[in-house]
Amino acid sequence: MTKNAEDTIGEKTDLQPNECSKPVRNTEKPVQKYRLTVQIAFALLCVWIGVEFHLFVRFLDSGGTTTFVSRPPGAEGFLPISSLMSLYYFFQTGEIHTAHPAGLFILAAILIMSLVFGKVFCSWLCPIGFVSEALGDLGDKIFKRRLRLPGGLDWPLRFVKYLLLGFFVYVIFFVMTELALRTFLDSPYNLTADIKMYYFFAEITPFALTVIVGLVLLSIPIRGFWCRYLCPYGALLGILSLLSPQKLKRNTTSCIDCGKCAKVCPSFIKVDNINTVWSDECTSCMACVDACPVANTLVIESLIARRRVTKRLVAVATVGIFVIITGAAMLTGHWQNNITTQQYLEQQLYVRGYGHPISGSEMEKLGRPQIDDEKQ
Ligand code: SF4
Ligand code: SF4
């Protein structure tokens, strides 16, 4: 270890070296400010999409008499179930379903970045993750410390998101036939799913509003309540993140056991006690890497290349994967769907009446009328 007066750690509390030599100060630039910037930018993009979508629906509601505003395809990023079905349809048929192609590409980008860098989407891009984090920070300020549910409650609750994911995976991948899948994707319900989602929030019921307010309030004392316990999307990304070859590693030789990494971890991972982080809850936020006071002690390492991956590379590549995949969709003509404005105006007359199948058997039945017709 090289010793330099300015490079060594001076604070008494940090000085608990395992070796005789003084530990070298971690001078690598933190990335949390960049992360916050990316989170804000992405949240603003979502707000802009929301405003544009509102104007589009207003145009439809007017029967096409107000100024035309085109539908922003990015809204399909908020249709994860439909996108998952489109992905399965793509695997089955090799075709990109034309109802919500942007949703499919957004989902693909998120899945790929999770396979490469873990749950980076949750901590860098997801607007709900961003709001959830802000509420958790507010809770830290109010309660003057980071509260956490007791293990006996935390563990079973963390399982809930996997149950929700399991339900969707079971229905989509095991219950629905290819015909049922196609029937659902072609159904008026799916074609107008983004508009129905808009009405869900624009004309929110007292019950739904109470649930959302409850989740917001719970997220203040219980950091990441939605993300940690309920989000099935996060559950899927958590499973994929375990396959990611990029892992957070602690150098036990240079570690001074200060515990700063574990203290800042929003996922309550005991980073200071483990050599390699293999956790479905790690969001690759890199707060622990930034907080570690000793150089080259907490690093992201590629298990394949056996090389260190810089924080900057993770940040740039995360945004890059998203931009490249969604950009490819735009350049290849797979961003906009093929529903015409006239078709939207016609559907608008019935959109409030479209209900969605709510059980596995109803999903299964989607494919049956055609099967029965064929038999007759
Ligand atoms: S282990 Fe580190 S990178 Fe993972 S969630 Fe905790 S602070 Fe973020
Ligand atoms: S790895 Fe964690 S415990 Fe070890 S020096 Fe870094 S912050 Fe402190």
User: Which-ligand-closest: CA of 224?
Assistant: 1
What pLDDT score was predicted for residue 21?
67
User: Which-ligand-closest: CA of 273?
Assistant: 2
Residues framing ligand 1 (Cβ under 6 A): 248, 264-267, 269, 271, 277, 282-288
Q: Whole-model pTM?
A: 0.88
Task: Give the Å distance between the CA of 241 and the centre of ligand 1.
Answer: 13
Q: For residues 281 and 289, what is the distance between their CA atoms, to the nearest angstrom?
A: 16
User: Which-ligand-closest: CA of 292?
Assistant: 2
Q: For residues 10 and 15, what is the distance between their CA atoms, to the nearest angstrom?
A: 7
Residues framing ligand 2 (Cβ under 6 A): 250, 255-261, 271-272, 291-292, 294, 297-298
Mutate to test the pocket of ligand 1, among 120, 223, 267 (most ligand atoms within 8 A of CB): 267
What pLDDT score was predicted for residue 369?
42
Q: Which residue has tokens 């830290």?
A: 140
CA-nearest residue, atom 7 of ligand 2? 292
What pLDDT score was predicted for residue 353?
77
User: Which-ligand-closest: CA of 238?
Assistant: 1
CA-nearest residue, atom 6 of ligand 2? 292
What pLDDT score was predicted for residue 357?
60
**Local structure of 177: helix, strand or coil:** coil
What pLDDT score was predicted for residue 362?
59
What pLDDT score was predicted for residue 364?
54
Q: For residues 109 and 283, what is the distance between their CA atoms, to the nearest angstrom?
A: 16
Which atom of ligand 2 is nearest to 262's Cα?
Answer: 2
Q: For residues 35 and 45, what is the distance between their CA atoms, to the nearest angstrom?
A: 15
- Beta pairing partners, 248: 300
**Local structure of 61: helix, strand or coil:** helix
Helix (H) or strand (E) holding 248: strand 246-250
The 8-class DSSP code of residue 310 comes to -
What pLDDT score was predicted for residue 331?
97
Mutate to test the pocket of ligand 2, among 258, 265, 277, 299 (most ligand atoms within 8 A of CB): 258
Q: How far is CA 63 from CA 49, 342, 347, in A?
A: 21, 10, 11
Number of helices (H), then strands (E), in the chain: 18, 3
Mutate to test the pocket of ligand 1, among 122, 268, 279, 283 (most ligand atoms within 8 A of CB): 283
Edge to edge, the sheet with strand 307-309 lists 246-250, 298-302, 307-309
- Concatenate the DSSP letters of all residues of 156-176 into one string: HHHHHHHHHHHHHHIIIIII-
Task: Give the Å distance between the CA of 214 and the centre of ligand 1.
Answer: 26
CA-nearest residue, atom 6 of ligand 1? 265
Task: Give the Å distance between the CA of 266 and the centre of ligand 1.
Answer: 7
Task: Give the Å distance between the CA of 284 and the centre of ligand 1.
Answer: 5
- Beta pairing partners, 299: 249
The alpha carbon of 198 is separated from its chain's Cα centroid by a whole number of angstroms, namely 20
In tens digits, the chain (376 residues) has pLDDT values of 333 433 444 343 444 444 456 789 999 999 999 999 999 999 999 999 999 999 999 999 999 999 999 999 999 999 999 999 999 999 999 999 999 999 999 999 999 999 999 999 999 999 999 999 999 999 999 999 999 999 899 999 999 999 999 999 999 999 988 888 999 999 999 999 999 999 999 999 999 999 999 999 999 999 999 999 999 999 999 999 999 999 999 999 999 999 999 999 999 999 999 999 999 999 999 999 999 999 999 999 999 989 999 999 999 999 999 999 999 999 999 999 999 999 999 988 888 777 766 555 555 555 444 434 444 3
- Concatenate the DSSP letters of all residues of 314-346 into one string: HHHHHHHHHHHHHHHHHHTT-SS-S--HHHHHH
Report the 10 Å Cβ neighbour count for 248: 24
Task: Give the Å distance between the CA of 40 and the centre of ligand 1.
Answer: 20
What pLDDT score was predicted for residue 127?
97
Report the 10 Å Cβ neighbour count for 275: 12
